[in-house]
Every structure is written in structure tokens, then in C-alpha cells.
Structure 1
Amino acid sequence: MTDPRIAFIGAGNMAASLIGGLRAQGVPAGAIRASAPSAERRARIAAEHGIELFADNAEAAAGADLVVLAVKPQVMKSVCQALAAHLRPEQLIVSIAAGITCASLESWLGERPLVRCMPNTPALLRQGVSGLFANARVSAAQRQQAARLLGAVGLVLWLDEERLIDAVTAVSGSGPAYFFLLMEAMTAAGERLGLPHGSAVQLTLQTALGAARMATESGVDAAELRRRVTSPNGTTEAAINTFQAGGFEALVQQALDAAARRSAELAEQLGR
């Protein structure tokens, strides 16, 4: 199957990561184009990836099979309304903008194949995970195209209901920050226990990396891995008991509930 022609509307960090991932997978530079308002940004992306860049969004989208909307949510409405008349009905539109629903995109672009995605920031290192939802107009071949696009920067999970994007946002979209917060807290606690700052940082980060690799590569679920590390009456049990006495699980649930609610609120506000 020939590579679909892909146009990125916007060439920020996430778009650049997707472009780099596609190029690393062997997608030719001639199959990818992008637009960006900044001449400096256009020059940088062109130099890094060898693709063609445009100042005009419509010019970039012309002839593309797949158009990736990679602009800030706050300007999505105006970008879509200006672009709508220049799009063909069969072009697949993929939005990676947080908080913009398919209904909003359809109101600005008209009825057409749409895939809404929620990637996360580790995608910048090609270690991301993305939740994808396709409307009824997306064909099987177009679903494959969208999966390959987001798969260039990590794991892809299809959702049967668009409302689950809010849950994806709460778990993985915002999730990296939760782990960063725990890393901050562990580093600070290590320092208070007498470790030099640099040692506390190294111990925390390597422990986080090792634990993540064990969880992803061992084939054993996190609960069992935790049990295996937690010896009766040992040091780990003392720490785990303290976490749970403080309502750790309930607090995590409350935090993710708050993130999901805010995701839904932002979608309503941005979609007006």
C-alpha cells in the first residue's frame, strides 16, 4: 500500500515528534508536508525532516489524504473555519488538540471522516500512549492510517465512545505529571533523610524507570509486582501501610475524577 499523503496544520512539538516518528518508520519526506506561521519554525522543521513547509494552511492541506490538526485548542475554531472550504469530503481529519470534540469539529468543518486523539507528552520521546476515537464516516483503511500516524510515537488504543477521551485525559494525558510529582516528593524526602540532592535525584529517577520497565516487560500486573516487593513486616510494608493509612487510593481516584471533569468542562468551553 502506498503511503498516504499527510499534511500537518501546525508544526509545534507534538507535530514535529509525529513527523520524526513517521520518517523513522520509513515514510518518505515527499509524503509529508506541514504549515506554520513562523518562518523560523518552517525553516527548522524543513531542515530537520526534509519535508515541505508552507505559511498557508490551505496550501499545505491541498492534495493530502490525511490532515492532522495540530494547533492550539484556543485557535482551532478559527483555523478550521478558514480551512473548511479548501478540504475535500473524503479527506481524513485527525485532531490531536485537547478538549475539541468531534461535534465541534463537524460544526466548523462540516460532516467528514474525523479521528480525535489524546496523546501525551512522552510521545516527544516516542514513548507515548494515545487514545483514539473515530466517527462513523472513518473507513477501515483510514483507521489504519490514523493508527500508524499515532503509532509512530507510541502505543495506540481505540475507544468505542468519545466520552472516554475524558478518562484517557485523566489517566494518561495528565498522567506524566502525577509521576513527576511523586518523583519530586521522593527526591525531597530522600534529601531530608540525609542524601545529597544529586544522589536523591538519581535514586528516584532510576527507581521510577526500573519500576516502569518491570511493569511493562514482566507480563505481571502491578498489584502482584507490589506484593512481591513487600515482605511481611519489612521496610516496604511500613511505607505502603503509611500511604494507605493516608487514603492513597481514594486520593488518586479523586484526582483523576477532577481531571476528567475538567476535561469535559474545557471541551464545552472550547467548542463554543
Structure 2
Amino acid sequence: MSQTSCILTDDRTPFTDDRVPLVAVLGAGHIGGTVVARLLAGGHPPSRLRATTRSRAHAAEIAAAYGIATGEDNAEAASGADILVLAVRPDQADAVLAQALRVAEPARYVVSFVAGFSLARLTSAAGPTPVHAFRVATNVAALEKSGVLAVSTAPSSPAESLEHVTAALRPLGTFVPLPESQQDTAASTLGSGAAFLALAAAGVREAASAAGVAPEHALLFTVEALECAAALLRQAGPASAEPWASLVTPGGLTAAGIDSLMSHGVSDHMAEAVRAAVDRARVVTPTPAEAT
């Protein structure tokens, strides 16, 4: 079995289900730190997990909290690693990859959580070191509950590489493959969409509080409403234009609220928020040609 068709451990032996990959999380901030926590919670051995941070103090906190090797040196963390998880800010990604891949073996797996960082940009940043590159869209809340991750694979990576890397990172959640052309939209719906909905839900909570409902109850009612909305969407399926219809009685209180929302173009405003996020994703990081 060749290096390009399987993940390799640092002793150069192909691993299977009983051979745990060595994972280096480059950037243990909000996303990276959650990746560390979920992998460990899913049974990944601490001895097969490393992390880097920008400060010695933060590295000490991560090491103390999780019992894994943690430091500021990306090259040291990447040495011998099978999978590099890139979870830094877009303006840091080039430098971090350059440091890490100075010592990384060819055909390492690089999984990027960096917003707007294209696969072309990722492979370009890797320079002469061949890598199997993956781009992932999600958010911290989804990772915390092992939710959904949208993943795209670089054209140069073999088809089976996606299966290998998602199996190794299974504790993070459910990976949904999609073309990279849809990544910015995935990041703006799956990733940012939770924030948009939480902002809208804040109005529900505020209305309850203004009417005298205790703050903790107002929050409870709002969270329950959001969870019920998710259930309605799942039951209605992807083709339904009106997932709320089952709760609406003509002339009733829900109908009055829906009419008010429609009169203010709430759906249009939410769609515009997604489009704004997509536009931003496209300019967060320049393409390789723009960076030269």
C-alpha cells in the first residue's frame, strides 16, 4: 500500500482500526481547542495528539487540561504527524503551514478549518511537499455536539483519502462531502447560520422578558422554540417552502406573528445575511495568484 492511499504512522507502518494516527492540531484556539476536546472524548489517545498555540501560557493551559504535548513550535508538532489540522486565522495560515511542512513527510493529510482558505491556496502554501488537502466548514457549537461538518477534497487527492481522514476524525461529527465551489455557502449557512438564527431568537427572548417573564424562563422558552423549529424543518424535508405551516391556524396568534415577519421581509433579510457572509468568505484570503 502506497503513501498516497493510506495514512501512515510515524513508524512508517500503515495503520488500520487498531493503529491510531498521530494528529497535530495547529492552532488550539476556539475551533482547534474544540477539535482536541472532541477527539479525546471520542477515545483518541492523548499520546497520539499534539497541539500548538501562539503563547506559552495558553500552551500550558491546554497541556494541563488535556494531558497532551502542546507548545508554540508548529514544526515540532508536525514532525512525524499523520494528520495536520489547521485551525488558525486566515492571515496566519501561510506561515503556520510553511513551518509545519518543513518537517512533514510527503503525502501528509492536511485538514483546514480556516475560513475562506481555498484548497488551491492550501496546496500552494504547502510548496513542494505533496499533501492530501481537505477543507472543512462548521462552527464551534457544531463541533461541541459532534454535529455536521462540510468537507471538500483537493482534486489531486485519491478518492479513498476522504474515507481515511474522516474515519480518523470521526469523533468530530458527521462529514458531508460537497464540491469546493459550495464551501463558502456551507460556511455561511452551516457555520455562520447558527449565529444568524441566534440573533433572530434574541428578539423572541427579549419580548418574553419585556412582558415580565423571568430571564431564565424566557431563555428556556426561546431555546425550546429553536429546537422545535429544527424538528419542523426535519419533518418537512428539503422541498418544503413553509415548514412552519403545521403550527399556523388561520386567524390565530402564530398567524399574526408570521404575517408581521413576512411584512418586514425577515426571510429576505436572513438570505441577505448569508450572501454577505459568502461575499466576505471570498475576500478573506487571496488566491495563490493574487498573493504572488
TM-score norm. by structure 2 comes to 0.82
* 1:243 equivalent in structure 2: 261
Q: Alignment length, in residue pairs?
A: 269
**76, 81, 89: which is aligned to 1:72?**
89
Moved more, 261-270 or 39-48: 261-270
Contact kept, 8 Å, 1:69 with 1:93, in 2: the verdict is yes
Q: Which residue of 2 aligns with 1:201?
A: 219
1:149 CA drift (Å): 5.4
- Say if 2:23 and 2:81, in contact at 8 Å, map to a contact too: yes
- Following superposition of structure 1 onto structure 2, how do residues 218-257 of structure 1 map, counting pairs within 5 Å? 219-221=235-237, 223=240, 225-257=243-275
How much has 1:83 moved relative to structure 2? Answer: 2.9
Does 2:18 correspond to 1:8?
Answer: no
CA distance in 1, matches of 2:25, 2:79: 11
Confirm whether residue 123 of structure 1 aligns to residue 147 of structure 2: no
1:48–1:248 CA distance, 2 compared to 1 (3 A): same
Which structure 2 residues correspond to residues 153-172 of structure 1 after superposition, within 5 A? 153-160=172-179, 162-172=180-190
Q: In the TM superposition, what are the counterparts of 1:133-152 in structure 2 within 5 Å?
A: 133-148=152-167, 151-152=170-171
The residue identity in structure 2 corresponding to 1:104 is R
Contact 1:126 1:152 in 2 (8 A): no
Question: CA distance change for structure 1 residues 150 and 167 in 2, over 3 Å: closer, same or farther?
Answer: farther
Question: AA paired with 2:271?
Answer: Q
RMSD: 2.4
SS at match of 1:17: helix
Change over 3 Å in CA distance of 1:252–1:88 after alignment to 2: same
Instruction: Return the letter of the residue paired with 1:48.
Output: A
- 1:146-180: CA deviation from partner (whole Å, max 9, x where unpaired): 324554233321112x1211111221111111111
Q: Matches of residues 178-217 of structure 1 in structure 2 within 5 Å?
A: 178-213=196-231, 215-216=233-234
Residue type at the aligned position of 2:237: D
* Ranges in structure 2 where 5+ consecutive residues have no aligned partner: 1-15
Does structure 2 conserve the Cα–Cα contact (< 8 Å) formed by 1:5 and 1:64?
yes
In the TM superposition, 1:74-89 aligns within 5 A as: 74-89=91-106
Percent identical: 28
Q: Secondary structure at the match of 1:163?
A: helix
Post-superposition Cα deviations, 1:118-150, rounded to whole Å, max 9, x if no partner, equal 121213522442211111233345312432455
- Supply the AA of the counterpart residue of 1:154: G
Could you say what secondary structure the match of 1:152 adopts?
A: helix
Distance 1:213 1:19 in 2: 30
Work out the CA distance in 1 between the residues paired with 2:82 and 2:159.
14
- Maintained 8 Å contact 1:113/1:136: no
Q: Which range moved further: 77-86 or 114-123?
A: 77-86
Distance 2:60 2:50 in 1: 13
Question: Secondary structure, in 3 states, of the residue corresponding to 2:102?
Answer: helix
What's the TM-score, normalizing by structure 1? 0.88
Change in 2 beyond 3 A, CA 1:157/1:30: same
46-55 vs 139-148, which deviates more? 139-148
1:21 to 38, 41, 51: 38
Partner of 1:51: 68
2:135 aligned counterpart, secondary structure = strand
1:113 aligns to what?
132
Q: Does the residue aligned with 1:7 lie in a helix, a strand or coil?
A: strand
**Alpha-carbon separation, structure 1, partners of 2:191 and 2:54:** 26
Note if contact 2:34-2:140 (Cα within 8 Å) is conserved in structure 1.
Answer: no
Distance 1:187 1:135 in 2: 43
Query: What are structure 1's unaligned runs of at least 5 residues?
Result: none
CA distance in 2, matches of 1:251, 1:143: 36
The 2-side partners of 1:149 and 1:237 are apart by: 48
* 1:40, distance to aligned residue in structure 2 (A): 2.3
Is the contact made by 1:18 and 1:149 (CA closer than 8 Å) also made in structure 2? Answer: no
